[in-house]
Amino acid sequence: MKKKIRFCLVYRDMWQSSGKYQPRVDQLKEIAPVIVKMGCFARVETNGGAFEQVNLMYGENPNHAVREWTKPLREAGIQTQMLERGLNGLRMYPVPADVRRLMFKVKKAQGVDVVRSFCGLNDYRNLELSIKYANEFGLISQAALSITYSPVHTIEHYMEIVDKYVEYGAKEIGLKDMAGIGRPEMLGKLTRCIKEKYPQVAVQYHGHTGPGLSMASVLEVCKNGADIIDVAMEPLSWGMVHPDVISVQAMLRDAGFDVPDINMSAYMEARTLTQKFIDDFLGYFIEPKNKICTSLLLGCGLPGGMMGSMMADLKGLKDAINLSLRNAGKKELSEDELLVKLFDEVQYVWPRVGTPGLVTPFSQYVKNIALMNILAEAQGKPRYSSMDKNMWDMILGRCGRLPGELAPEIIELAKSKGYEFFTGVPQDNYPDELPKYREMMKERGWDCGPDDEELFEFAMHERQYIDYKEGRAKKNFIEALAKAKLKAEGGSEEKLPEEIKKTLIDRVLAKEPNAKMIVAPVSGQVIWELAMEEDSMPKAIGTRVKEGETVCFVAAYYGNEEVHSLYDGRILEIIAKQGDKVKKGDIIAFVL
């Protein structure tokens, strides 16, 4: 009898791995019946990490979007699947246990069937509550292994984690090959080990195509007992995304597996609709290079899903790095040269900070350390000169156990800063908060919504939810879209704010080529005075600052991040005023 393989269309991740935004709810409702007509999907990944946040960012209610999107799929007998980040829930930093529990209650009520939970550190303690809460509310709990390639990520390492997941009550195991760097033979052997030891547990493989190994990996895991394969479809397959369902089906059918037929007429209709969504507005936020595979990913191990943000960070830091190189009389770097340099630096940093799985949020942390190291080098500063709270939380164990050992220089740096390492259960660091958020909603006159779904959204994404409720999110999105369209059309006579800032930067450096930069360590809003009054003024031009002194703050999603001067000198020019939005690496001010 032929082994049956089911397909899961990762529609959420198709967009997440391509660019910044997800389709609107009206677009999702439009394509849902066509996905059903294709007849080949047992599951569709509908929501989860970034989906809800993105909806809030352009002024939509994510709870409404999830309910409307999952409904036609479930009515057709297709399971709906979401992705959550264990300790971090649906965001980039830890979530209190009561908020995590409410998430599972809410998502069950909204029509989600399967919850894939993962931890980039593969610390099984971070998934214990996820599995418990999924089972409590009648969801299928899938505990995922974050797959990577390193001396510490062995089959024995992964099987120890699988044992714990099954002990906790996980019904399925996911192989989350987020960068596509898992070697096919190892993935096949791991699948066989899981199925031989736990034949009742379904195994689902998720592999990005970035470095080009995923089709071989799909074949190997299927030959060794995998049950479900994640697939994509044109025009958002391949590149940094996932293999296309047509190719996967053809390969597996030829290999003797029982795979579903594809209604090609419906496939072409869904393909056309997805392209229509891209042309509507989503394409303005898609990084073109994400359509290209690159074997360079085998060296650095960065996942396809973060390539869009990484390219944006590179562009933001390129000017700052080249300014420093130019001032030092050194050769400036092209974007491609900088990309290779970043890959090399990630490869250097990664084992020294404990070899975390390079998946959200830890891939961002490692990438950010590497980026800031490159900037520090250009400025004549040592590595690790600028690391924010999140990076240190990972290093100090507050997010969970690191799979590998920290390098001695990292341990010494932590001690020199007076930081303490944490060895307890990460969840214990984050006390319950739902009563606080319930009271805050009551004070604002906001309804908690059916099944407390609005309360959940507020507690999970406080800043974005407030912006959504008060109308700022929609306004900001409309402005961002207008700027993106303007850039795509080659600009206009009216200069954009970033162009004005660039002109000011060029003018400063033309007058004072030895001026030193103060740059944003994270993305957010510049605060020169913590009172955050609209008329608050930055430090006066000429104010003396010392190396290491806090000059201003950047309001990030997790709180205020201090911005330090790396030099002694006086404030020469202010580039970012009070309330200005900056990206990581943007120039805030100059000192001389």
The predicted structure's pLDDT at residue 264: 98
**Top-confidence residue, 580 or 87:** 87
The predicted structure's pLDDT at residue 66: 97
Q: What average pLDDT does this structure show over 481-491?
A: 76
CA distance 282 to 277: 6
Residue 203 β-bridge partners: 173
> Using H for helix, E for strand and C for coil, what is the string for 257-273?
CECCCCCHHHHHHHHHH
The per-residue pLDDT of the chain, averaged, comes to: 89
The predicted structure's pLDDT at residue 309: 61
The order of strands in the sheet holding 587-591 is: 516-519, 587-591, 569-574, 544-545
The predicted structure's pLDDT at residue 498: 64
Q: What average pLDDT does this structure show over 99-128?
A: 97
Residue 173 β-bridge partners: 143, 203
Token pair for residue 201?
């547990």
**Top-confidence residue, 276 or 288:** 276
Most confident of 217-221, 369-373, 519-523, 560-564: 217-221
Q: How far is CA 342 from the centre of its chain?
A: 18
pLDDT band at residue 31, thresholds of 50, 70 and 90? Answer: very high
CA distance 182 to 298: 9
- Please say if the pLDDT value at position 534 is more than 50: no
Q: What average pLDDT does this structure show over 133-151?
A: 96
CA distance 124 to 131: 10
* Entry pTM: 0.82
Q: What average pLDDT does this structure show over 35-47?
A: 98
CA distance 351 to 390: 18
> Where are the chain's structural domains?
6-290, 296-429, 496-591
The predicted structure's pLDDT at residue 521: 84
Token pair for residue 5?
């393989």
Element at 165 (helix H, strand E) = helix 155-168
The predicted structure's pLDDT at residue 257: 98
384-440 per-position pLDDT tens digit: 987 878 889 999 999 999 999 999 999 999 999 999 999 999 999 999 999 999 999
Output phi, psi for 113, to 5 deg.
Answer: -105, -40
158-190 per-position pLDDT tens digit: 999 999 999 999 999 999 999 899 999 999 999
Q: What average pLDDT does this structure show over 45-67?
A: 92
Least confident segment among 263-272, 314-323, 366-375: 314-323
b/e string for 457-492 if b means 16 or more Cβ within 10 A? bbbbbeebbbbbbeeebeeebeebeeeeeeeeeeee
With 0-12 / 13-18 / 19 or more C-beta atoms within 10 angstroms meaning exposed / middle / buried, residue 298 is middle
CA distance 402 to 220: 28
Token pair 């709990």 is at which residue?
141
The predicted structure's pLDDT at residue 335: 80
CA distance 146 to 358: 8
- Residues 47/83/303/461 CA torsion (nearest 10 deg): 70
Angle at 109 between CA 105 and CA 115, to 5 degrees: 65
Q: What average pLDDT does this structure show over 486-503?
A: 63
CA distance 277 to 275: 5
Element at 588 (helix H, strand E) = strand 587-591
The predicted structure's pLDDT at residue 311: 67
Domain 496-591 bears CATH identifier 2.40.50.140:
no
CA nearest neighbour of 165 among 117, 112, 107, 228: 117
What are the DSSP E strand ranges found in 180-262?
202-207, 228-231
Report the relative pairing of strands 569-574 and 544-545 from DSSP bridges. antiparallel
Superfamily classification of domain 6-290: Aldolase class I (3.20.20.70)
The predicted structure's pLDDT at residue 493: 41
254-268 per-position pLDDT tens digit: 999 999 999 999 999
pLDDT band at residue 531, thresholds of 50, 70 and 90? Answer: very low
- Please say if the pLDDT value at position 270 is more than 50: yes
**Distance set, CA 367 to CA 75, 149, 270 (Å):** 42, 17, 35
In the chain, % of residues over pLDDT 90: 58
| DSSP class per residue in 451-511 | GGHHHHHHHHSHHHHHHHHTTHHHHHHHHHHHHHHHHHTT--SSPPHHHHHHHHHHHHHHH
**Top-confidence residue, 502 or 589:** 589
Residue 76 β-bridge partners: none
What are the DSSP E strand ranges found in 208-348?
228-231
- Please say if the pLDDT value at position 577 is more than 60: yes
**Distance set, CA 77 to CA 4, 36, 72, 111 (Å):** 18, 9, 9, 12
- Please say if the pLDDT value at position 360 is more than 80: no
The order of strands in the sheet holding 581-582 is: 559-564, 550-556, 524-527, 581-582
57-103 per-position pLDDT tens digit: 888 999 999 999 999 999 999 999 999 999 999 998 899 999 999 99
How many residues does this entry show for the chain? 592
The answer to whether the 6-290 and 496-591 domains have the same CATH topology is no
b/e string for 32-63 if b means 16 or more Cβ within 10 A? bebbbebebbbbbbbbbbbbbbbbbbbbbbbb
The predicted structure's pLDDT at residue 92: 84
**Top-confidence residue, 34 or 537:** 34
The predicted structure's pLDDT at residue 535: 41
